[in-house]
Amino acid sequence: MIAKTPRPPYYAVIFSTLRTDTDEGYEETARQMEELAKRQEGYLGIESARNQMGITVSYWESLESISKWKNNIEHTVAREKGRLLWYKKYQLRICKVDRDYGFEV
């Protein structure tokens, strides 16, 4: 779903991925990481879509909250497994959201 974020400024982590053919625990870990992210201080929301590639964008109150999430131990273990098993390639981009616009029917 589209995340309900507050007024800018806030921060976004864009995680763009190409998967390997290995599924081993992937779905479960992805779900766990989403649940874990939601419990972090400064978490604002998450959006995720996948077909040939995956894009997950998580939204955060501050760079400090992103840094704490990055260093979370369970997240670190999952990231290691991601590099070993699930991802052929990924790019992670840390951004400051300065403006946003919404449309709804």
In the complex with a copy of itself, which residue's Cβ is closer, 36 or 46?
A: 46
φ/ψ of 16, rounded to 5, equals -105, 125
Buried residues in 21-39 as b, exposed as e (16+ CB within 10 A) = eeeeebeebbeebeebbee
Beta carbons within 10 angstroms of residue 79's beta carbon: 17
Candidate list 12, 33, 37, 44; residue touching a copy of itself; CB under 8 A: 12
User: Whole-angstrom Cα distance, residue 25 to residue 93?
Assistant: 25
3-state secondary structure of 65: helix
Candidate list 6, 18, 42, 77; residue touching a copy of itself; CB under 8 A: 18
Q: Taking CB under 8 A as the rule, does residue 86 contact a copy of itself?
A: no
Candidate list 7, 35, 52, 71; residue touching a copy of itself; CB under 8 A: 52
Candidate list 22, 48, 62, 76; residue touching a copy of itself; CB under 8 A: 48
Residue ranges that bind a copy of itself, judged by CB under 8 A: 1-3, 5, 8, 12, 14, 16-18, 20, 47-55, 57, 83, 87-105
